[in-house]
């Protein structure tokens, strides 16, 4: 197992994140020794997940946008769920947070509908990416080359399709952070 002791990872999310796409990578990365902070919008003490077909469990928010910077972290994780990234991509501070990781050449990992944040932040253009299948056209229109793969790593951008890809997604994040 990859040792991430001393590494810090931000997970940017708000209400409506896909439950397993936040909690499972967080659990796996913490098991490797990383500190993982759930970062959300101001005014949020906790955020509620979407668990397949209904509301899931609440997750505590560790930090809020405006209190953190990309320089505080070694990587950024963007979970999916339809509601979560659709709301975040309308928030300038959230988009700027994603852009700051890219500008610092730090890993940005997005799963399922999370790549919508890559589109909004301009990071999709010229990249090989994957996502939930319904985002294929969105990513292609944003200039990405979409692939139907468990995990795609293109430079500092890591993408996966769905909850079934979480083991490979988490391992790719760990390798990027450790490397």
- Decide if 133 contacts 111 (C-beta within 8 A): no
Query: How confident is the model over 35-87, as pLDDT tens digits?
Result: 999 999 999 999 999 998 999 999 999 999 999 999 999 999 999 999 999 99
Give the whole-number percent of the chain exceeding pLDDT 90.
Answer: 98
Query: How confident is the model over 75-107, as pLDDT tens digits?
Result: 999 999 999 999 999 999 999 999 999 999 999
Active site residues: 112-113
How far is Cα 114 from Cα 86, in angstroms, rounded to an integer? 9
pLDDT at residue 1 above 90? no
- 8-12 and 75-78: which strand pairing? parallel
Spatial strand order in the sheet of 46-51: 17-18, 46-51, 54-60
- Decide if 158 contacts 118 (C-beta within 8 A): no
Please name every residue paired with 39 in a beta bridge, in sequence order, or none if there are none: 12, 63
How far is Cα 128 from Cα 30, in angstroms, rounded to an integer? 28
Contacts of 75 (CB under 8 A, 6+ apart): 7, 9, 10, 101, 106, 107, 108, 109, 173, 176, 177
DSSP 45: S
Query: How confident is the model over 12-36, as pLDDT tens digits?
Result: 999 999 999 999 999 999 999 999 9
Spatial strand order in the sheet of 8-12: 63-64, 35-40, 8-12, 75-78, 108-111, 157-160, 151-154
């Amino acid at each position: 197992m990859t040792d991430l002791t001393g590494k810090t990872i931000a997970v940017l999310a708000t209400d409506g994140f896909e439950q397993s796409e936040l909690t499972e990578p967080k659990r796996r990365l913490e098991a490797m020794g990383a500190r993982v902070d759930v970062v959300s919008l101001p005014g949020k003490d906790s955020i509620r997940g979407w668990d397949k077909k209904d509301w899931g469990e609440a997750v505590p928010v560790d930090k809020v946008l405006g209190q953190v910077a990309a320089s505080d972290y070694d990587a950024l994780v963007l979970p999916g769920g339809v509601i979560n990234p659709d709301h975040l991509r309308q928030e300038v501070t959230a988009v700027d947070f994603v852009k700051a990781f890219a500008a610092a050449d730090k890993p940005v990992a997005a799963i399922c509908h999370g790549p919508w944040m890559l589109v909004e932040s301009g990071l999709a253009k010229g990249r090989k990416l994957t996502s939930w299948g319904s985002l294929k056209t969105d990513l292609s229109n944003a200039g990405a080359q979409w692939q139907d793969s468990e995990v795609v790593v293109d430079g500092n951008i890591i993408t996966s399709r769905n909850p079934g890809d979480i083991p490979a997604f988490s391992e790719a994040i760990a390798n990027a952070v450790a490397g």
